[in-house]
Structures are given as C-alpha cells and as structure tokens.
Structure 1
C-alpha cells in the first residue's frame, strides 16, 4: 500500500452547514493500493470540502437538468440542495416521517434516486415507504410502495432505477426502526431487496442478506451490486440481472472484512459504478475503489465515516462523498454511471 497524500484539517472549528468559497479546504487522504488507480485519480487529486456542520449525511444524488446535488440528513428530516453558483439551501424539510410522536434516531429520508421521468424517488425511514415526488413542483408526493404482500416494510434505505427496463430496486434493512431487528412494529421476518416493475408489481428479489444497504447498476444494467451492512458478514454481492429484471446468481464480489477497521461501526454502505466497471464502495476505512474483478485499487478516507457517494458535474467525472458531518468531492479521470435523467 502506498500513501499518496495526507492532508489534515488543522485545528479548524466546525464550519456551518453552508457551501465553502474557493479556494476550498482539503481534507483526509488518498491511499493508493495498485498502479491502476492512476487511470482513475491523478497524483494531485485531493478531497475538497464542499460543506460541513451537518448531522449525518446520506443519499447524494446529482440532478443534471438543474446542475445540483441533493443529499439527505435522516436525523433532521432534511434534504439539502447544493450547486456551484448558488451554494447550499434546504430543498425539503420535515421529510421521511409524518407522525407526531418521536420515532427513532433516523426518521427522515435516506436514499434518493431519479426515475428518468422527472421524478425524485425517496426512501423514507419513518413512513416506511418508497415515495415519488415531481422535481419541478416539489409537491404531490406519492407513495409508490409501502408493503410487501400486506406487511409493511422495515425502513427502505436506498433505491436505484434500472437504466432501461423501468423498474426500481430498493433495500429494506431495519435501520430506521427505533429498535431495529427487535422492534415490535416490525412486520416482515427479514431484510430484503425488492423490485417494483414498470407496472407497479413488487417482487422480493433477495432474502438471504441480513442488512442489505447500498445498491448500484453497471452501465449496461446487466449487473447489480448490493452491500450488506453487517459487521459479521460485511460483503458486497454481485447479481446478474435477467432480461425480465429478476436477479440471479448472487455471489460475493468483495469481502470488506479484509479491510482495516479505522472508525467504530463502519460497515458496507453506499455504492456507485463507473463506465469502466469499477466499483466505489463506502465501508471500513472510507470509500474503497475496486476493479471490475474485485481488486482493491485505492481508498478515499476523508477522516469521517463515509456513507455514500454520487457522480456529478458535467460528464459525471466529479465524485461527491457524504461523510458524517461533511460533504466532500474529488475530481476523477473516470466517468461515472449517473442516475437516469429525464
């Protein structure tokens, strides 16, 4: 392992939750494990701080039509909007849970995606559903699905739209339930991965992962990666997508138990893929960059637990990271697989 760069944020106070002005502060380190990383990150690539002072960031999503990044804070039930010219603002408040009584540590919205039809897809912990919202109006929230065969979901966590077949796929771990697996409100006996097809029919695709979390398609939509956020089995799984959209042939792509544990509680989390098939996986030690064959090429460690990432900017060559109270980004030489646009 070769350490390329290590830039510490020196004795700086916590910055307010707002966009930074150029030149941006840098944070953390880039670890190089294989020469092939040079094709993805230049020797001078650094993690830049875009914003800080948040509570617990998740669900980054680039919306190309508006040149903006959306990301969520499920603890404060807020979805933020950031763009280079306008900086930071609140996009939605009081989202993810519509109840009146307190509900767990993370009642808000987590994962975000686009459906390719001008709608935002939202995984809502407290309301235990996947919802759809027209981006143009920011009103007219519609429940897409909140149960499987009459039993309410645990707490949908992350969602992704297939690039061509019109289906959405989402994970349903127990993290949004106040008592998680032991919660008396739990109605399903497992944590599954589900598919809602273009007609609205929901099928249970994966049932043997204890805590399915992040998920991402390859550019051709023929492969789906799913992370398992369980310290006892911290793996990234790889599935073939059949022509009818069903998943098959699940196998371990990468075992994150082989990674050093840098911070307490780090487990596999959000995933993204680039056009060359490399996988970017949040987990122990930061964001792992993996080749299509599962070789560890490098690690982005911002010094905080990384929850997810998203490709953004023109050409999808900027990688945004949500990491604890920080929103960071790094310029790459790769081109990301981005969310379906309108």
Structure 2
C-alpha cells in the first residue's frame, strides 16, 4: 500500500471551478485512494459539493478564503495583493510542509510568479520551465519549455535537458530517456548560437544523458526522442499548434461524417476505430504541466479542462512526489557542477 500523500488544491482556479475541481478530486481518489487533499477556496461553495461526494469527504480538508485569482490578473498584481487568494494559500501549504505538491487550473502567469516567489528555485537552476507530455507514434514524449521563458541562453537549455530527462524517468518510467534539442534542421551547423552551444555542452556533459542531437518539428509526433528541449517561445507555439491541429481534424472528421447518408452509415462502422483515435489524442489524458526547477512540486492544469483532465493533473503531481523528483534533480545538478557546491549556487540564485 502506498504511503499517504497530501496535495493542496487551488479549488477556485479554472473556468469551471469549484465544481470541476471537486469532481476531479473524486475521480482521482478512485485511482489514488492514499492521497489526502487540502482544498483552498470558498467553503460555502465547496462544502455542499463534498456533501454530494461522501466517498471523498473524509480525505478532504477545506481551508476557507474569499479571495481568488482571476484569469486576467497580472502576475505583478497577484504578488502585491494576492496573499489571501486560494492560489497563494495552496502554494504556501507546500512551502510550509503541509502538502507535498500543489495543483491549480488558474492563471498560468500568476501561478508561475507565486510559485517562484513562495517556493524559490532549486539550487543550481536559474529559471523554471514548464514541461508537458505529447502523444507520439511510439508513446509519449516530454517537451519543455512550453512558455515560461521566451528568451533562453545555452545554459538554460542545458538545465531544461537535465530536468526533462529526470522528469521522463520519474513520470514515464524510462530507464535512460533520449534527449533532443529542437532546431530548424538536424545538421550540426544549423540553428542559433544558443542551440549550438547547448548541444556541445550536452555532448560533453559528465551526466549519463543519452543525447540524440538536434530534432525537427516533425520528430515530436514521430517520437524520435523521449525529451524535446526548446525555449518557451518555440515550445508554446508548438503546443498551441498541436492542440489546434487536433481540434481542426476532429471538426473536419465530424463534418465529413455528417455530409451524407452514406457518410453517416460509414461512421457507424468506423465508430470503434475513431473512438480509439479520440482517446489516444485526447488532451485531457496529457493534462498537467509541471513547473520544473522550483523547490517544490507545482502542477498547472489547463484552465478549460474538465474533471477527467484535472484528475490527470493530480496524478502527475502525485507521481512526481512518489518518485522524489526534486531530490533527483538536486543530485543531477550536483553531478553536473561538482566544483560548485549547492550552498554557493543557492546563494547565487538569491
């Protein structure tokens, strides 16, 4: 039996909170019965929902607050005035050791700012990165950064590679995942100076990273490597393009099968196969982007997801806690920079 784990939840974050959040906790409880939850938000709205779900009432503790972070709130504003918000209190529970990780479907920029301010960075890491999972022909691929850092230097990309490699081992269970740098071509002479320098550093790294080299955009879906590393500008565009393409083809297929009587009959015969494709590419199955590099587990759920997607985000947080992700990151960076003691790096990051 798994050891008890407590996860703090921003119950007011997301387009359909708190109803979606409470239902997501209920679904997660079926898969993760050993997990306990601290729900931060409006008790008058949350507690009636728990009354309707008695199977999780005993594993949930509600911490009341009237304040919540809106979707259009500026991160700087939240840092100044949001210390009583459900998001801030949920993150603070991790910093205080009351919870092992936090999950929120709220404002991404605000969650990143609050998490970085409250939890701080791990020693040896300059910037946090957003990591997520992509479905591929071979299974799943980790990709980072997905939007936290628009401009990155070579050192940032190397840090992302180390964090992504450990993430793949922890979440995907891969013994030695392969790592690739996203580029405009696979040849060594292509790319900007940051990408070229990062590639050279990874080839010479003392860590046992299986560095594949450069990969291109079509390699993401092909599953050429297990970890795709890029800057946040490129990564976010790739993510939104992939999501938009899935929606486009889903809409196109729906229209095509409704275009005639024969098409509708064809759909009846193809329905089982199409449902398999739908399940395989369902973005809810890959919901839950991790803020890597923070001194604590923080997972961002898509704001518009449903309960099924939110439950998967909770599962990501629990997996990272169970596999000691942050401790493994610390060890990897100690091996990467043995001449730079963690205490000195931590002081440098302050």
Normalising by structure 1, what TM-score? 0.30
| Higher relative contact order (Cα pairs below 8 Å, separated by 6+ residues) | 2
In proportion to residue count, which structure has more helix? 2
User: TM-score normalised to the size of structure 2?
Assistant: 0.30
**Who wins on radius of gyration, i.e. which is larger?**
2
- Name whichever structure is richer in strand by fraction: 1
